[in-house]
Amino acid sequence: MAVGESSRIRAILRAQWKSFLAQRHAGGRAGRAIAALMWVVWYGLWALVGASAGVFAASASPGMLSIALPWLLLGVAAFWQLAPILTANLGAAIHLKKLLIYPVSERDLFGVEVMLRATAALEVLLVLAGIALGLLRNSAVPRWAPVPALLLYTCFNLLLAVGTRSLLERLLAMKRIREVVVLFIVFCVAIPQFMAAMGMPAGLRTFLLTRSQPVFPWAAAAQLAAGARVLTSALSLLAWTALALAFSQWQFRRSLRFDAAAAHASGASSRAGLARRTGLIIPLVSSLFRDPLAAIIEKDLRALVRAPRFRVIFIMGFTFGAVVWWPMLYQGGARSAAVYPVVVSGYALVLLADLVFWNHFGFDRAGAQLYFTMPVPFRDVLRAKNLAAGIFVAIEVTVVMLVCLIIRVPLGPGIILETYWVAFVLAIYSMSAGNLSSVYHPRPMDPEHSWGRASAGRSQVYLLLVFPLFLIPIGLAYLAAYAFASRTAFFLVLAFDTLAGAVLYRIATPSAVAAAERGREQFLGALGQSSGPIVTE
Amino acid sequence: MSESTPAIAVSGLRKVYGTKAAVDGLTLTVPRGCFFGFLGPNGAGKTTTIRMLIGLAPPTAGSIEILGRSMPRDAIEIKKRIGIVPDDSVLFDRLTGAEFLEFAGRMYGLVRAVARERSGELLALFDLDGEPRKLIADYSKGMRKRLTMAAAVIHRPELFLLDEPFEGVDAVGARMMKDLLTAQVRNGATVFLTSHVLEVVERLCDSVAIINEGRLVLERSIAELHAGSETLEDTFVRLVGGERLMEKLEWL
């Protein structure tokens, strides 16, 4: 008996839901609790942002709405399209290899993919819902207007995200093109940064945002949602949505026909070349240690260097970082420029966190079994993983310094010491928390995927909720420097931070080791999980 | 530790997942120098038993002694002396075969030079030396299994715990692996293997045990089995084979 297309979509979503539940059950209880707590806090914050936007939209005058609403919707679009790229997490995707063997139509797959784009930016859906509710309560706005306008705008963003994602996925699967794409994205991100630093030309601002010219989708959606210039703005938004639909279908179809195997085969020879080049250097680094530490460090260095996902993130650390924080060099004076290397290094550490601190065993996947079947204490495995992470942090910070030299950021011995030391302190706190998180909440990761599949929000949870905790000791050092007007005070507090970090590490690591030994079945079970019909990692 | 102790001695071994006992009161002794086949239908508890023997899954109840030492108390000492081929891949995709074998050797306590030398020899023996810079990610299933086997022998273990070692391996590779294991047993090592290919087990093993629904249903030497009129397959199907339901599937 044949089944309808909607049944197939339901079957895919049901299989994914079951896989999701199984994965949730695979992790430890504490890991699940922490993840759930983070989820609640993160989306709670965004719900608050949505509620604030709603309160504003409910009480704003038509004049105020005409100014602020386009900005709000531009922010929504920017977050939706850019946040996944900036955080290197493109959101969940259909596992084409698993689904293409079934008689599922392209239309079905496309439909699921469009729905999945919401996963990359659940946060802005909360904001849009807040705005819609607020506008509905605003007596100056016709009641029929907000919901259709914002729904259409959501469709536009979903479709645009499908097209962008499909295009990026293919480009990032191609050797060499991948690095060019990353640099191109850096360039694109640089434009708003330069504008922020130099100020946006008034004419451009008017062109992008004013009510009188609903040329761009955010301006058109804002007008339509407020019930102004209905015909023009509706036509404009419909045209943009139709364009986004054509673009997304075109790109999605190309992705379906994309010969990943061919790209993989061409990648194989270049990987072999990389293996040859790194084969000489890495043993020199690991020779500083004894086996089994040296063997594990060597293995980790080789494996990470050859993982496209790690390489892309590593490059982003010193390119994106340098660009994103560029305005500091212009706007904050000499002191602001002096902390620029520290800030860029910190940002690079945040990007690297998911790969080198937060989930040590993600790339090992089922191979992590070896750490329990070989005659090596698990404590040594964690120490080796931390040392390998430390080596990459040191290299990343060194490259950041070189970038600073190239762009003529003033670098004295004091700034260099400050940057390395701050990075070291951040790393030691991250390692302490990361050892626990790697054991309590392990997730398998595919090194072939240049970009993560989780929601961009998860990286931002780390960025906004966890990382600031590690920044408190650093902040205290800067506070001491400010209060006593003394670099000595700064370094004294930093020395104390280092000591506290070492104590934290000494407490956290044995606890992580004990948890791994105790819960090794769940730990290995979680790492050995394969994905469902939709890839979320 | 005395050489007279059995290679494996488990008593009252039990592993419960939720309310289901995957292994239920298993008591088994495998003497040293024996080629031992551990058989059972899918889901019988073979892999769970091996996972408990190698320390990957703590038993709910019962005791395990490997080479005269208690697992998990002496886990590190035991692991130094056993070679393992688990059911799923334990390889690191981003290493080459040579790098992985060297890594495994060093983890088992070999010095780097020895690990490297043995790695080269094993790659040649397992016919994996054709493309030395090829990453494991680009290996076929059979190549991955052969590499796992090579890693299991690099430190000359006294006991091999092998879960479906020939699965996915071509005839030539499988033959070579069988010859290697037979030679190891001749030299005093013990092999404990699971396999669904009963002809292979019948030809290689000295003794077999059959497990079904977590319980041991037979432990006998191949010679004893051959003394009767049944083949191993007949015995296996008689002990674990259920009613065949295909007749009911009219649409098939």
For residue B128, what are the domain limits? 8-248
Share of chain B above pLDDT 70, in %: 95
**Facing residue for B94 by CB, picked from A264, A307, A374:** A307
Contact check, Cβ <8 Å, B107/A294: no
Whether the predicted pLDDT of A3 surpasses 70? no
**Omega of the bond leading into B72 within 30 degrees of 0 (cis):** yes
**Facing residue for B96 by CB, picked from A275, A292, A296:** A275
In eight-state DSSP terms, residue A409 is -
Overall average pLDDT of the A346-374 stretch: 82
Domain presence at residue B1: no
Inform me whether the C-beta atom of residue B172 falls under 8 Å from chain A C-beta atoms: no
pLDDT tier, A397 (very low <50, low <70, confident <90, very high otherwise): very high
Domain presence at residue B112: yes
pTM for the whole thing?
A: 0.73
Contact check, Cβ <8 Å, B109/A299: no
B176 vs A275, higher pLDDT = B176
CA distance linking residue B16 with residue B3, whole number of Å: 33
Q: Which residues contact A371 (CB under 8 A, 6 or more apart)?
A: A361, A364, A378, A381
CA distance linking residue A149 with residue A228, whole number of Å: 11
B24 vs B243, higher pLDDT = B24
Spatial contact of B65 and B209, defined as CB atoms under 8 Å apart: no
**Facing residue for A369 by CB, picked from B90, B107, B138:** B90
Spatial contact of B151 and B125, defined as CB atoms under 8 Å apart: no
CB-based burial label for A236 (10 Å; 0-12, 13-18, 19+) = buried
Give B-chain residues touching A364 at CB under 8 angstroms: 92
Q: A282-286, A369-373, A480-484, A500-504 — which one is most confidently predicted on average?
A: A500-504
* A513 three-state secondary structure: helix
In 3D space, the residue among B161, B196, B180, B167 whose CA is nearest the CA of residue B30 turns out to be B161
The whole-number pLDDT of residue A95 equals 62
A286 vs B242, higher pLDDT = A286
Domain count for chain B: 1
Q: Which amino acid is at A264?
A: H
Q: Average pLDDT, whole number, for chain B?
A: 87
Contact check, Cβ <8 Å, B94/A375: no
Spatial contact of B150 and B101, defined as CB atoms under 8 Å apart: yes
Inform me whether the C-beta atom of residue B52 falls under 8 Å from chain A C-beta atoms: no
Overall average pLDDT of the B106-122 stretch: 90
CA distances in angstroms from A26 to A439, B48, B246, listed in the order given: 12, 17, 35
Contact check, Cβ <8 Å, B56/A372: yes
Beta bridge partners of A425: none
Overall average pLDDT of the A140-156 stretch: 91
CA distances in angstroms from A135 to A159, B71, B128, B194, listed in the order given: 24, 67, 67, 67
In 3D space, the residue among A51, A71, A56 whose CA is nearest the CA of residue A126 turns out to be A51
- Cα torsion through A537, A158, A74, A134, rounded to 10: -100
B30 vs A516, higher pLDDT = B30
Give A-chain residues touching B112 at CB under 8 angstroms: 291
The whole-number pLDDT of residue A245 equals 94
CA distances in angstroms from A516 to A23, A26, A370, B22, B202, listed in the order given: 18, 14, 13, 22, 39
The whole-number pLDDT of residue A27 equals 53
Q: A162-176, B75-89, B199-213 — which one is most confidently predicted on average?
A: B199-213
pLDDT tier, A5 (very low <50, low <70, confident <90, very high otherwise): low
Give B-chain residues touching A530 at CB under 8 angstroms: none
Question: For every residue of chain B, which 3-state class applies, written as one string?
Answer: CCCCCCCEEEEEEEEEECCEEEEEEEEEEECCCCEEEEECCCCCCHHHHHHHHCCCCCCCEEEEEECCEEECCCHHHHHHCEEEECCCCCCCCCCEHHHHHHHHHHHCCCCHHHHHHHHHHHHHHCCCCCCCCCEHHHCCHHHHHHHHHHHHHCCCCCEEEEECCCCCCCHHHHHHHHHHHHHHHHCCCEEEEECCCHHHHHHHCCEEEEEECCEEEEEEEHHHHHHCCCCHHHHHHHHHCCCCCHHHCCCC
- Write out the residues of chain A at the interface with chain B, using a CB-CB cutoff of 8 A: 264, 268, 271-273, 275-276, 279, 291-292, 294-296, 298-299, 302-304, 306-307, 363-364, 366-367, 369-370, 372-377, 447-448, 520-521, 524, 528
Q: Which residues contact A30 (CB under 8 A, 6 or more apart)?
A: A440, A515
CATH code of the domain in which B62 resides = 3.40.50.300
ipTM score for this prediction? 0.77
CA distance linking residue A222 with residue B180, whole number of Å: 74
A interface test, pick of B84, B90, B110 with most A CB neighbours within 10 Å:
B90
Q: Which amino acid is at A332?
A: G
A466 vs B23, higher pLDDT = B23
**Omega of the bond leading into A292 within 30 degrees of 0 (cis):** yes
Contact check, Cβ <8 Å, A375/B107: yes
Least confident of A175-189, B78-92, B167-181: A175-189
Domain presence at residue B2: no
Beta bridge partners of B85: B162
Residue bearing tokens 């407490």: A507
**Facing residue for B57 by CB, picked from A275, A307, A521:** A521
CB pairs under 8 A between A and B: 101
Interface of B with A in 110-169 (CB under 8 A): 111-112, 131, 133-135, 137-138
CA distance linking residue A14 with residue A9, whole number of Å: 8
Give A-chain residues touching B103 at CB under 8 angstroms: 295-296, 298-299
Inform me whether the C-beta atom of residue B106 falls under 8 Å from chain A C-beta atoms: yes
User: CA-nearest residue of chain B to A447?
Assistant: B94
CA distance linking residue A480 with residue A230, whole number of Å: 57
Task: Give φ, ψ of B141 to 5 degrees.
Answer: -60, -45
